[in-house]
Amino acid sequence: MEEKISAIKTWLGTGSINIFGLPMSGKDTQGIKLAETLDAKFISSGMIIRAMEKKTNNNYTKHGELIPTNVFYEWVLPYLERRDLFNYPLVLSSIGRWQGEEDQVISVAKGAGHEIKAAIILNISEADVEQRFHAAKVLADRGEREDDKDLEVFRVRIKEFREKTLPVLQHYKTLGLLVEVNGDQPREAVFNEIVEKLYRRASQSQA
């Protein structure tokens, strides 16, 4: 494992990896662990948006919709250009979820020295994430997130992913950047698959 991690670090440099998936697919869980493993900085669009909504007294995501693209550009995109992150690789959690935003994300990331080297999709069915929603309600392990309190709002988030984010992933696939991972397995197995597939990509780049 250490050899594979070292190879991934060399390949990644100060680049970035963008992780996508349905709500409750494990994007932040896997992203945080991957960032720690790669000595990278973790940036979550969801965390940024929730903090900014609280700060500005706005609630764009209250009903489950994605924030407008112009707000995304104002609130989230500048994080890719932060000077304190210049010398680090980045692990991103769903930065640019709406079709059309991905080109701007790719451009800004590259200009800031964080070229996107891979976009990971954690594949899991809509039925399975809905089961996770109900389990999380029982366990009460998701805090007080507004967009996790109501099943209908959660279903809107799923619909938004299907209609707006899947085309983003198709674009990454066309660019040869998409890495598909089975998200419906134990967390450790998901992480190991991420490492294995990133290692393969790193090895192919050196071939």
Per-residue pLDDT in tens (0 to 9) along the chain, 207 residues:
899 999 999 999 999 999 999 999 999 999 999 999 999 999 999 999 999 999 999 999 999 999 999 999 999 999 999 999 999 999 999 999 999 999 999 999 999 999 999 999 999 999 999 999 988 877 665 555 555 668 999 999 999 999 999 999 999 999 999 999 999 999 999 999 999 999 999 998 875
**Residue indicated by tokens 């706005």:** 58
The class of domain 2-200 in CATH terms is alpha beta
Tens-digit pLDDT profile for residues 138-160: 766 555 555 566 899 999 999 99
Task: Write out the two tokens for 158.
Answer: 């799923």
Encode burial over 152-170: b for 16+ CB neighbours within 10 A, e otherwise. ebbebbbebbeebbeebbe
Give me the pLDDT at residue 194, please.
98
Place of tokens 């976009």: 119
- Amino acid 146: pLDDT: 56
pTM score, whole prediction: 0.93
Alpha-carbon distances, residue 137 vs 62, 89, 187 (angstroms): 18, 34, 19
